[in-house]
Amino acid sequence: MSEVLLSLKHISKNFGEGDVLSDISLDVHKGEFVTLLGASGCGKTTTLRIVSGLETPDTGEVILNGKDMTALPPESRPVNTVFQSYALFPHMNVEKNVAYGLRVRKMDKAAQAARVKEMLGLVQMSEYAKRMPAQLSGGQRQRIAIARALAPQPQLLLLDEPLGALDLQLRRQMQVELKRLQKKLGITFIYITHDQEEAINMSDRIAVMRGGKFEQLGTPEEIYDRPKTRYVAQFIGRSTILTGTVRCVNGGSAVIENENGSFSVDSAQAQLNAGEICDVCVRTERMRAAKEPVEGFNLPAQVREARYAGGTVLTYVNLKDGTEVVAEGDHRLCDAPQPGDTVYMHWNPAQAAVIGGASHGA
């Protein structure tokens, strides 16, 4: 891992109605794409504002490239921000918008012109240099906002839900372009979003936030495949969470049971002991419904309905206690189980995340 660019050390912030941030710490490495992911009110925007200098923490330090920036104003930090609202100057054309930060820094005109030309080429907007913001689409304005933020060559770029105002297709296209730009330039990005798919597609690491704290920090694969808490398991992706008691552990496999039946999990990922209670998270795309029982599983369920979902079929079933479970299959809708049928739920034990054992209730 490269050297640390940004360190947040024991940051807390209170606006008078309880802690918005509560003793959070985070190291971000040079060239890394880190996403702060969470629901509204979790503290992600306040964290970004503290990094940019728009807010001052009540306690803690903001260290950037080895220098304490905690008390410095925004203009004294080598940091730029891209906002969801674009924040382009409506009276300036594209070229002048991109050059704005360079003029503030008193860069000579020849260097300004060269840098603006380079940035517009980078975001594929060279032919729009003389247009006004009102003449651009939402996606084009976002590209210009990004070019303007990158032009002064900040050490760190903060992105505050920059794609939130775009339609789904354009948002996905811009995700690819942003990631390409970040890798090409090697600039460190801190990105905030409430969109889980966006975070998983773009990030090197994701910090899932809840109630002013980091619930889990890890790679997209770690966050998705090995959630450490029930909250992360429910917040990221679609899944079924089953709670049960460990009946036995045999080698690398454990059998869990509850009132609906029993099922197997890979015990290597958690320290499980007989008699313990744990949660097991199974992603919808890994849940299967079979017409006959599968070895290691005894989870009968009644089919409620089956729906076509564009290349896959989603089968909605109810376990004995009424819990709804959704299974995904690649069969045709006409081959799916019918309402009222009994099916048997199962999955690959290695693909289920065990939440609990010694840490149950986290």
Phi, psi of 150 (to 5 degrees): -85, -20
Query: Rounded distance, CA 308 to CA 303, Å?
Result: 15
pLDDT of residue 360: 44
Q: What is the pLDDT of residues 92-138, one digit of tens each?
A: 999 999 999 899 888 999 999 999 999 999 888 999 999 999 999 88
Query: Rounded distance, CA 6 to CA 79, Å?
Result: 11
pLDDT of residue 359: 42
- DSSP assignment of 294-339 equals -TT-B-EEEEEEEEE-SSSEEEEEE-TT--EEEEEESS-GGGSPPT
- pLDDT of 357 above 60: no
Is the model's pTM score more than 0.85? yes
pLDDT of residue 1: 55
Contact 10, 62 (CB under 8 A): no
Question: Radius of gyration (Cα) for the chain, nearest Å?
Answer: 25
Q: What is the pLDDT of residues 256-284, one digit of tens each?
A: 999 999 999 998 877 888 999 999 999 99
